[in-house]
Amino acid sequence: MNARVWKKVATSTAFYSRQQLLHVISQPRSTPVQSAIPTCLHSWHLFSHRSVQQQHHRQKSSIATDLYSVQQQQLQHSKGVTTGINGKPLYKPIAFYSLIPIPRERVIALRDIIETRLSELDVVGRIYLAPEEGIGGINCQMAVPLTHMAQVKKFFNSLHDDFGPISFTEGLEELPEPCFRKLRVMIKKNLVGVKESIHASDLVDPSTHHLDPVDWHQQLCEQADKAFLVDMRNHYEYDMGHFEHAAKLDVDTFREGLDELQNMIKGQPDKTLYMYCTGGIRCDVTASYLRKNGIKDFKMLKGGITAYGNYMKSLSNDGNLGNDKLAATTKTTTTEARSLFRGKNFSFDDRRGERITSDVLTQCYQCGNPCDTLHNCANTRCHLLFVQCESCKQAMNSTCSDTCNDVLSGKKTWKMGYNYHRQIRPKTTSSSCSH
Ligand SMILES: [Zn+2]
Ligand SMILES: [Zn+2]
C-alpha cells in the first residue's frame, strides 16, 4: 500500500472512534454526515481489501473488515439510486487533463484509487495515467451521472497534490445513455503518442500561448483567411468538422502530425501559428516540441474545440448552435455570434462526435449523400471507421463493403491482417473497396 494513502488513512481516522466510523460510513451517501467525512475515508475500501488479501501478518484489523463489508453494502445500495429525471439517469460527458510529473509508484496507486471511487459513483469512461519518465499525468474522459457530478469533481479536486488545479470541460449535451460502455483506468508510457518522448518535468508551461475562446474567436475573425491556422487532429477528425480556413495535416496519428507541422511552419516563417485540437492536450504537448526547435510565435485554443463549442452555446439563447440561429439570436454583431467552427467535433467515444453547427461536411461512403455519422464496420476484423447513412447502414448490415457483409454472414473468411492505418483510411468509393 502506498505510503501517502497510509498517511491519509491514518490522519483521517485518527479523529474517529471505531463506533463513530461505522456509524458515519453506514449513512446514505447523500446525508450531511456522510458528505462531511474526508474523501480519503473511501481509501478504507482499498485499505481493508488489500489488508485482507495481502497483509495477514500485520495487526489484524477488524475495523477494516467491518468497514469493508459496510462499504460493499453501500456500493450495492448506491447502484440503485443514480436516477435522474423521469427515473432515468442522465449523463454528461466531462473531460480534463493535467500534464504533470508523477512517480511511477504513485501512478499505480492512483489507478486503484480512481477506479475504486469512480466505480462507486457509476462513472464510465477512459482514463489514462502516465508516469513522469514520459509525457506524464492524467487524461480523463468520462460520462458522469448528473446526480454524481459534484462528487466526481470534488473527488478529483481532492487529488490536488497529484494533478494540480483541474479545469473540467463539460460536453455540450446531456445524454440519456452514457457515451462509454465501461470504466477503464489504464497506465500508458506517454499520454500522447510521440516519436521522441519528453520527461514530464521538461514539458514547457504552455499557458503563455493559450487564448481563451473569446480571444481566439476575435483574433481569427480579424485575420479571416490570412490566419496561419492548423488543425492538430487526424484527417478523419478534420473531415467531420473544423475551423474555417484551417489547414489539414492529413495524417493518421499525432506523431506524424508533428513532422508535418514543422514543414508547414517552414513555409510560413513570418506568421503567427494558430493551432487547436479537441480538448487542448495535443496542442500543449506540441508547444514543447516547437519550443525545443526554437519556435515561439504560436498561439493555441485553451480547452480546444469543446471549450469553443461551450462559448458558442453561451452566445445562443436557446442552445441551438446552427449558424443561422446564432446570427438571428444576436442581432448586434453577426460576426461575433457566428461560429467559426463548422460541423461536428469528433470525440473518441460512442457518440463519435458532438455537433457544433448544423453544417454537414462529409458524405456517406456508400451512396454519397451528405452525412456525418461515423460507424466502425460491423465486421470486427475490418473495423473500418467510415461515414454511413442510415439507409446504407440497413442495406449493408453496418458493414463497409460486400466483402465485409459476406464475412459477417459467414459466406467468406477474412484474410487481411491487422493494420491500424487501413482501419481509418477508407478508399474513396465503395466500388473500389475490395478487401
Ligand atoms: Zn448512404
Ligand atoms: Zn469493413
Question: What's the CA-to-centroid distance between 381 and ligand 1, angstroms?
Answer: 22
Give me the chain's average pLDDT, please.
Answer: 79
pLDDT of residue 19: 38
Task: Report yes or no: 257 and 231 within 8 Å, Cβ to Cβ.
Answer: no
- C-alpha 257/C-alpha 251 separation (Å) is 6
Measure CA 214 to chain center: 22
pLDDT of residue 153: 98
Q: Which of 23-32, 85-94, 188-197, 347-356 has the lowest mean pLDDT?
A: 23-32
| pLDDT-derived band at 86, boundaries 50, 70, 90 | low
Query: What tens digit of pLDDT does each residue of 385-400 get?
Result: 999 999 999 999 999 9
Which candidate in 40, 140, 179, 277 is catalytic?
A: 277
Give distance in angstroms: CA of 384 to centre of ligand 2: 5
pLDDT at 209 over 70: yes
277 part of the active site: yes
CB contact at 8 A, 171 and 226:
no
| Residues 64 and 41: beta-carbon distance below 8 Å | no
Terminal Cα distance for the chain, rounded: 51
Residues of the chain with pLDDT > 90: what percent? 60
What is the pLDDT at residue 53? 35
CA of 353 to the centre of ligand 1 (A): 19
> What was the pLDDT predicted at 95?
96
Would you state the pLDDT for residue 329? 45
For 178-208, write each residue's pLDDT tens digit: 999 999 999 999 999 988 889 999 999 999 9
Residue 419 confidence class, pLDDT cut points 50, 70, 90: confident
Question: In the chain, where does the domain assigned CATH 3.30.70.100 lie?
Answer: 85-201
Compute, in angstroms, the gap from residue 360 CA to the centroid of ligand 1: 14
- CATH 3.40.250.10 in the chain, residue ranges: 205-344
- CA 162 to mean position of chain CA atoms: 19
> What pLDDT is attached to residue 316?
75
Confidence of residue 13 (pLDDT cuts 50, 70, 90): very low
Query: Which of 14-18, 160-164, 419-423 shows the lowest mean pLDDT across its residues?
Result: 14-18
Give the helix ranges, DSSP H, for 187-346.
213-223, 235-240, 254-267, 281-292, 304-315, 323-329, 334-337
Length of the chain: 435
Q: pLDDT tens across 90-142, in order?
A: 999 999 999 999 999 999 999 999 999 999 999 999 999 999 999 999 999 99
Geometric angle at alpha carbon 50, from 45 and 53, rounded to 5°: 130
CATH topology of domain 85-201: Alpha-Beta Plaits (3.30.70)
Beta-carbon neighbours within 5 Å of ion ligand 2: 377, 379, 382, 384, 400, 404
Kindly report which listed range (12-21, 362-371, 396-405) carries the lowest average pLDDT score.
12-21
pLDDT, position 323: 54
Using alpha carbons, select from 124, 56, 59 the residue that is nearest to residue 94.
124
Residue 46 pLDDT exceeds 50:
no
With cut-offs at 50, 70 and 90, classify the pLDDT of residue 351.
Answer: confident
Query: If you search the block for the grid coordinates 480571444, which residue do you land on?
Result: 215
Q: What is the pLDDT of residue 324?
A: 52
Query: What is the Cα–Cα distance from 159 to 185, expressed in whole angstroms?
Result: 16
Pairing of β 354-355 and β 169-170 = unpaired
Instruction: Please state, for a pLDDT cut of 70, what percent of the chain lies above it.
Output: 73
Backbone φ and ψ for 45, nearest 5 degrees, come out as: -55, -50
Answer whether residue 38 shows pLDDT above 70: no
pLDDT confidence band for 403 (50 / 70 / 90)? very high
Ligand closest to the CA atom of residue 401? 2
The Å distance, Cα 358 to ligand 1 centre, comes to: 19
- Predicted confidence at residue 123, as pLDDT, reads 97
Provide, for the chain, the percentages of residues in helix, strand and coil under a 3-state DSSP scheme, each rounded to the nearest 5: 45, 15, 40
The whole-angstrom separation of Cα 424 and Cα 87 is 39
Q: How far is the CA of 391 from the centre of ligand 1 (A)?
A: 6
Average pLDDT over residues 56-67: 36
**Does 371 or 26 have the greater pLDDT score?**
371
CA distance 104 to 93: 28
More confident residue, 413 or 75: 413
| The three three-digit cell numbers of residue 426, written as one number | 477508407
Name every residue whose Cβ is closer than 8 Å to that of residue 329 and which is 6 or more positions away in sequence: 315, 316, 317, 318, 337
Q: How far is the CA of 116 from the centre of ligand 1 (A)?
A: 43
Give the pLDDT confidence score for residue 242 in this predicted structure. Answer: 97
Mean pLDDT lowest among 36-50, 236-250, 283-297: 36-50
Q: Which ligand lies nearest to the CA atom of residue 389 in the structure?
A: 1
Residue partners of 271: CB distance under 8 A and separation at least 6: 228, 297
Q: Which residues pair with 97 in a beta bridge?
A: 139
Query: How far is it, in rounded angstroms, from Cα 434 to Cα 381?
Result: 14
pTM of the model as a whole: 0.74
Residue 428 has pLDDT above 80, yes or no: no
Angstrom distance (rounded) from CA 137 to CA 101: 6
H or E element that contains 344: strand 341-345
For residue 261, what pLDDT is reported? Answer: 94
Query: Given pLDDT bands bounded at 50, 70 and 90, which one contains residue 425?
Result: confident
Q: How far is the CA of 433 from the centre of ligand 1 (A)?
A: 15
Query: What CATH code would you report for 205-344?
Result: 3.40.250.10
Contact assessment for residue 116 and residue 179, using Cβ atoms and an 8 Å cutoff? no
Average pLDDT over residues 45-55: 34
